[in-house]
Amino acid sequence: MATVLIVDDDDALREGLAETVSDLGHTPVPARSGREAVARLADRGIAAIFLDLRMPGDLDGIATLAQIRALPDPPPVTVLTAYASPANTIEAMRLGAHDHLTKPIGRADLAAALDAMLICTRTEPEQAGVPEAGGGLIGSSEAMRRVQKAIGLVADSAATILIQGETGTGKEEVARALHAFSGRRDRPFVPVNCAATPAELLESELFGHVRGAVGGATADRAGAFHLAEGGTLFLDEIGDMSPVMQAKILRVIQDRLVTPVGGRPGRVDVRLVAATHRDLQAMVIEGGFRADLYYRLNVVPIALPPLRERRDDIVPLAEHFLAASGKRLGPSAADRLLAHRWPGNVRELRNVVERAAVMVRGRLIEAADLHLPEHLPPTDGDASAEDNLDLPGAVARLERAMIAAALQAADGNRTKAARRLGIQRQLLYAKLERYGLAGTTDGEVSPDTTTDVGKDDDSGAAGTS
């Protein structure tokens, strides 16, 4: 049972809202004005607020909302109005409203709005600690464990590493992990994107130049090889490098000598890590990449799996990206993430959940908040649905669906759900955390509906203010 503040200058609507809130099992606290509402917040444990937008006096709904949101740890506020406009909707959400609804509001909509606010209040934010690894390395699927084991085996080696994987799989995260776990961790890590740097500038970017050697060079400039001295140089998208630069990089790898443009060669001590989303072996066969450079780079290959082949990691990755926001995935959101093919891989997943974290006012994100397309055209390397289903992933999805169904059948009561599933309650708690269902709580609001709660405006329509 929660205490709900109802702020409206209209006696009939305020009393109607209070009656519905009481029927739903909560304690309504009425307030006739914004000032009275702010005063009541000082001495009561208010869990949620319904706030009328249009109220007389110098403290209307928007001004009241601003004062409420300025309080330390304010309760969630849903703004109610019969006169919704783009301006007041945007302003209310900008100020921190949980939602902005139009009158009249029926019992079912009121119950849904109240439940959403209470879930927001109940859900504790994640502890935003510093992760041990970057986002691309989060996960315990067999595919990622192979990558993590490979990083551990070769981190202290001086061997050149070639990381291959689709765009967005986290190749730079692997390179950074190789550096962070190596004996070179106290020296620089220098990334260079070979595809993003114009071909005519890449030589200077990598090797540096002396004053006057190139147009506009008024001073000597150290290149990436020298900047990474003693550390790690990461050459991203090396498959996009021109044939001329390929020959020069090959010479550096062979001799460990770097020659700045217009300068003299000098020895460097750099651990080289390269990455590409291209199939270099196929490029070698087609003549698009030097065979000798490929074999020099491919001393220790690390293949990064696409996200569709590591579905067990999708929900943990999403929770990781949400951690700093204090928000959580609801059951429907986790199911929707698992159903998506993720052609953009981890980068796409991060963009989706971070966008949802910004756009969703409450702490619980559901499927409708993700805005994922239902159908996607086939993409290169996209396997059939059957190929994408590995046995552990399929078992995990079935287990998650059964737990969600048991919770729903038990009205959110975890003890009853565990009994239905035939498992210990402690095991259920562990699985709730694993599958992103920990936000599900006991005592869900009943979906029963009654008549609409509203009031008459000057023209006779119900529920205006």
**Is it true that the peptide bond before 75 is cis, omega within 30 degrees of 0?**
no
What pLDDT is attached to residue 383? 41
Instruction: Write out the two tokens for 421.
Output: 């599933």
Given a contact cutoff of 8 angstroms between Cβ atoms, the answer to whether 4 and 114 are in contact is yes
Kind of pairing between the strands at 266-267 and 257-258: antiparallel
pTM higher than 0.75, yes or no? no
> Which residues are registered as beta bridge partners of 79?
51, 100
What pLDDT is attached to residue 323? 87
Mean pLDDT by 10 residues, the chain (465 residues): 90 91 92 90 86 85 91 90 80 85 86 85 44 62 86 90 94 92 93 89 88 70 92 95 93 91 88 95 92 95 92 91 88 92 93 92 87 61 44 70 84 86 81 70 40 42 41
Listed residues 305, 328, 358: the one ending a domain: 305
Listed residues 287, 305, 323: the one ending a domain: 305
The total number of structural domains that make up the chain? 3
Given a contact cutoff of 8 angstroms between Cβ atoms, the answer to whether 50 and 64 are in contact is no
Residues 423, 326, single domain; the answer is yes
Buried b (16+ CB within 10 A) or exposed e, 417-455: bbebbeeeeeebeebbebbbbbbbeeeebeeeeeebbbb
Residues 107, 161, single domain; the answer is no
Given a contact cutoff of 8 angstroms between Cβ atoms, the answer to whether 29 and 46 are in contact is yes
Distance CA 191, CA 120 (A): 40
Given a contact cutoff of 8 angstroms between Cβ atoms, the answer to whether 129 and 241 are in contact is no
Residues 301, 161, single domain; the answer is yes
**Is it true that the peptide bond before 104 is cis, omega within 30 degrees of 0?**
yes
Backbone angles phi, psi at 221, to 5 degrees: -135, 125
> Which pLDDT tens digit goes with each residue over 181-221?
899 999 999 999 999 888 878 988 899 888 766 666 667 88
Residues 297, 318, single domain; the answer is no
Residues 212, 238, single domain; the answer is yes
Listed residues 305, 320, 347: the one ending a domain: 305
Q: How far is CA 66 from CA 38, 53, 60, 79, 438, in A?
A: 10, 12, 10, 12, 32
What pLDDT is attached to residue 140? 79
Q: Could you tell me if residue 445 is inside a domain? A: no
Residues 168, 298, single domain; the answer is yes
Residues 300, 339, single domain; the answer is no
Its domain, for residue 62, covers 3-122
Q: Could you tell me if residue 113 is inside a domain? A: yes
Residues 266, 391, single domain; the answer is no
Q: Could you tell me if residue 285 is inside a domain? A: yes
Distance CA 369, CA 352 (A): 9
Distance CA 385, CA 3 (A): 48
